[in-house]
Chain A
Amino acid sequence: MKILVPIKRVADPANANKVKVDDDATKVTSEGLEWVMNPFDEWSLEAALRLTENAAEKARVGEIVVVSITPGEGDTDHIREALGKGAERGIVVPAGTDEQLDASVVAKILAAVVKKEEPDVVLMGKQAADGDSAVAGTKLAELLEWPVVNYATNIATSDEGKTFEVKRELDIGVQTLKVEGPVVFTSSDRILRPDSIKNGVTPDDFEYADLGDLNSRLSNLKNIMAARKKPIDTMTLDDLGVELGVGTEYVKFTLPQGRSGSAEFVETVDELVQKLQTEAKVL
C-alpha cells in the first residue's frame, strides 16, 4: 500500500497564544515560535506508518511519501523529521506565501501531486492547527473524484487497501463506513488508540503502546541516520501545472479581547456558590 501524507509546517500550537498581528493588521506573525509539524498531520503520519508495517516484526510493508507545501524557499526540517520516523520519501513544493495558500490552492496542488504519485490512500490531518479551516482534505477528494472519510478514528483493511472499514466521529455519534480505495482519510484525535489501525499484516492481537502526549513515535538514531539518505524531491508549481489564485482574501487580523485575566480565588464551596448567585447571577 502506498500512502501520501501531506504535512503542514505550523507555528508551535502549544504556544498559539503568543502569536501576534503586525502593525497594519494584515499578517499574523509567529516570531520566536518554533516551526513544528502540524500535530493533526503528525497523527496521520503515525496512522500511515501503522498501516504500512508489520508491527510485530518491525518491518515496513508499504511506502509512505510525505509532501509539504512550504512558503518561500521550501523549508524541509519537518519533512526530514517525518523521514526519521519511518516515511520512505519526501516531496517539497515551495510555493508563495502563507496568505496565498488557502484550502482551494492546497487542494489543487495536492491533487496534482496525487496524479503524479498515484498513492492508494491520502491520509492527512482534518485541519491545520493555524488556519483551523478543515477544508483542504475534502476538497482534495472531490478534485480527485475519490471518496473521503473525515474524522476517522479506526481504519481497517484486510486486502492491502482495496477496501477499508472505517469508523469516524460525528457530532451526533460514531458512523461506520465501508469504502473502496483510492480514498482520502482525515484523522480524528482518536486515530492513535492502541487498536485503531488494522492492516491485515500486523497480527490483529498486536496492541500499540499508548503514545500519551506524543503525536507520533519518536525517531531513533538509526532512523535519523537513515533519513539523511532518503530523498526529498522538489516539485514546483510549474512542474505540477498549478497556478496560485485563492478563493479567499483576508483583509485584516485581530487579537481577541482577553478575558479579565484575573481569576478570583475562593477557598470554600459555600463562598463559590454564593458568588455565583449574587455576583455572577448564574445560579
Chain B
Amino acid sequence: MTDVLVVAELVEGEARKTTLSAVNLAKTIAEGTGGAFDILAIGAGAAGAAEALTKYGARKVLTAEIEGDYICEKYAPTVAEVADDYEVVAACASTYGKDLMGRVAAKLEAGVASDISGVEVDGDDILYTRPMYAGNVFGTLKVTTETQVVTVRQSEFDPAAEAGGASPVESVDVEEDDVAEKVESLGIEVVKSERPDLTEADVVVSGGRSLKSAENFENVLEPLVDALGAAMGASRAAVDAGYVPNELQVGQTGKVVAPKLYVAVGISGAIQHLAGMKGSKTIVAINKDKEAPIAQVADYFLVADLFDAVPEMTDAVKKAKG
C-alpha cells in the first residue's frame, strides 16, 4: 500500500492542467499498490482552487493558503511537513514542480525520480522510467529512500479524468523557514495567449531562426498556426534571437511536446530541439535544406523556401478545413 501526495500547481487561484498529469501518476501507483492519494493545493487562492480538484477520486484535498507570488522557499516547508506522511510525493515536471520538489526532497532526504515518462508497479517496487541524454537513453530506476519524490513529464501522462464523487477538503497548517525572508518576488509577468497551451495542444507549429525576425513570426508563421488551430512553438535559436518569448521554446531546455501533428518550419533539428518534440505522432518539416537533421525524425519533409511555402500552406489548410 503506497500512499501518494500530489502537489498541485496553482496560477492565479486555479490549478493548472499540469496538476492532472501528476494525479494520473498518483492514481496508477495507488491502484497498483492498493493505496490512496491526496492532493495538496498550496498558494494564493488554494481554498478556491481545491473545489475543482475534488472531482478526481482523491481520498482528500488539502489546502494551504499562502499569499503572494510563488517562491519555493515559501512553499517547501509546508509541502515537506505534509509529505512526511506519504511514501510518494508527486508533481508535474514543469518549472514549478522541478523548482519546488528539489527543495522538498532535500528536506525529506529523499531521492528524486525527475521528469519521468513512465511508471510500473512491480510487486513492492515502483519502477520509474525517464528520458536522459536529451531523450537518447531511457533509464529505469527505483527511489531507495523512505520518501520518494517524483516529477512527471506532462506530455507522457494524460490529464486524469474526472472520477465522480467529491473528495473532502481539509486545510493544513502553514510552516515557515527563515530562508524565505531572503527572497522577495517583485512580480510574475504571466503570459496569456488566445491559442491553446503549447504542452496541451493537438497541433504545434514551431519556427526557427530562418524566420529571421519577430515580424515574420507574426506575419508569416502565425496565420498558419491559427489556420491549424495550433499552439506556436520555437527553437532555442529563435528564442535567443528575441523573435518570440521564452515560454515558446521547445526542446531539452524548453517544453516537451507530443502533439498529433508537429510542423517544424525552418528548424534544422539540433539534438536539443529533437528532445522536445520527437514524441509527436506526425512530424512535418518545412526546410530548404533536405540534409537538415530534422529529416531523422520527420514523417513528411517539404523541401521549400518557407516564405513561399508557409503562406501557401495557410491557404491550403483553410481550404481543406472548409
- Within 8 Å CB of A130, what residues of B? 132-133
Confirm or deny: A94 has a beta carbon within 8 angstroms of a beta carbon on chain B.
Answer: no
A174-B189, A248-B141 known; A104 vs B98 contact (CB < 8 Å) = no
Contact A253 B140 (CB under 8 A): yes
- Within 8 Å CB of A254, what residues of B? 137-138, 140
Confirm or deny: B30 has a beta carbon within 8 angstroms of a beta carbon on chain A.
Answer: no
Contact B301 A276 (CB under 8 A): no
A174-B189, A246-B111, A249-B141 known; A272 vs B95 contact (CB < 8 Å) = no
| Separation of A249 and B270 alpha carbons in the complex (Å) | 30
Contact B271 A170 (CB under 8 A): no
Distance to closest chain B CB from A102 (angstroms): 7
| Separation of A181 and B52 alpha carbons in the complex (Å) | 39
A147-B182, A248-B143, A253-B140 known; A132 vs B300 contact (CB < 8 Å) = no
Contact B111 A248 (CB under 8 A): yes
Q: Which residue of B has the minimal Cβ distance to A248? A: B111
Distance to closest chain A CB from B128 (angstroms): 9
A 128-186 contacts with B by CB, 8 A: 129-139, 141-143, 145-151, 153, 165, 169-180, 183
- Within 8 Å CB of A145, what residues of B? 177-179
Distance to closest chain B CB from A226 (angstroms): 31
Listed stretches A13-21, A64-72, A77-85; interface member:
A13-21
Q: Say which residue of B115, B245, B278, B321 sits within 8 Å of A133 (CB atoms).
A: B115
A 1-34 contacts with B by CB, 8 A: 11, 13-17, 19, 21, 28
Interface readout for A233-266 with B: 1 if CB under 8 Å, 0 if not? Answer: 0000000000000111111111110011101111
Q: Say which residue of B98, B260, B321 sits within 8 Å of A150 (CB atoms).
A: B98
Contact A14 B271 (CB under 8 A): yes
- Within 8 Å CB of A275, what residues of B? 300
Q: Which residue of A has the minimal Cβ distance to B143? A: A248
Listed stretches B38-46, B212-220, B312-320; interface member:
B312-320
Contact B240 A132 (CB under 8 A): no
A249-B142, A282-B261 known; A266 vs B302 contact (CB < 8 Å) = yes
Q: Which residue of B has the minimal Cβ distance to A271? A: B302
- Within 8 Å CB of B133, what residues of A? 11, 13, 16, 19, 28, 129-130, 132
| Separation of A267 and B320 alpha carbons in the complex (Å) | 18
Distance to closest chain A CB from B64 (angstroms): 19
Among B11, B71, B139, the one with the most A-chain Cβ atoms within 10 Å of its Cβ is B139
Contact B115 A134 (CB under 8 A): yes
- Within 8 Å CB of A283, what residues of B? 228, 261, 317, 320-321
Contact A16 B179 (CB under 8 A): no
Q: Say which residue of A107, A131, A148, A270 sits within 8 Å of B72 (CB atoms).
A: A148
Listed stretches B55-63, B83-91, B100-108, B166-174; interface member:
B100-108
Listed stretches B21-29, B156-164, B280-288; interface member:
B280-288
- Within 8 Å CB of A126, what residues of B? 253
Interface readout for B220-263 with A: 1 if CB under 8 Å, 0 if not? Answer: 00000000100000001001100001110100110100001100
Contact B316 A172 (CB under 8 A): no
Contact B246 A133 (CB under 8 A): no
Confirm or deny: A277 has a beta carbon within 8 angstroms of a beta carbon on chain B.
Answer: yes
A17-B271, A178-B184, A263-B285 known; A256 vs B135 contact (CB < 8 Å) = yes
Q: Which residue of B has the minimal Cβ distance to A141? A: B103
Contact A247 B111 (CB under 8 A): yes
Q: Which residue of A has the minimal Cβ distance to B112? A: A135
Confirm or deny: B32 has a beta carbon within 8 angstroms of a beta carbon on chain A.
Answer: no
B 62-88 contacts with A by CB, 8 A: 69-73, 76
Among B114, B127, B283, the one with the most A-chain Cβ atoms within 10 Å of its Cβ is B114
Q: Say which residue of B111, B184, B236, B283 sits within 8 Å of A102 (CB atoms).
A: B111
Confirm or deny: A190 has a beta carbon within 8 angstroms of a beta carbon on chain B.
Answer: yes
Confirm or deny: A120 has a beta carbon within 8 angstroms of a beta carbon on chain B.
Answer: no
**Beyond known contacts A132-B252, A174-B188: 15 more, CB 8 A cutoff:** A28-B137, A102-B111, A141-B106, A146-B182, A171-B94, A172-B16, A174-B189, A177-B71, A178-B186, A188-B246, A190-B246, A246-B144, A248-B113, A263-B298, A272-B284
Chain A to chain B contacts (Cβ below 8 Å), 10 pairs: A127-B253, A170-B95, A171-B255, A173-B190, A175-B70, A176-B185, A252-B140, A255-B136, A267-B303, A268-B302
Where the two chains meet, the residues of B that have a C-beta atom closer than 8 Å to any C-beta of A are: 11, 16, 69-73, 76, 94-96, 98-99, 102-103, 105-107, 109-115, 127, 130-145, 177-179, 182-191, 199, 203, 228, 236, 239-240, 245-247, 249, 252-253, 255, 260-261, 270-272, 278, 281-285, 290, 295-304, 309, 312-313, 316-317, 320-321
Closest 5 CB pairs between A and B? A247-B111, A138-B102, A142-B106, A180-B182, A263-B298
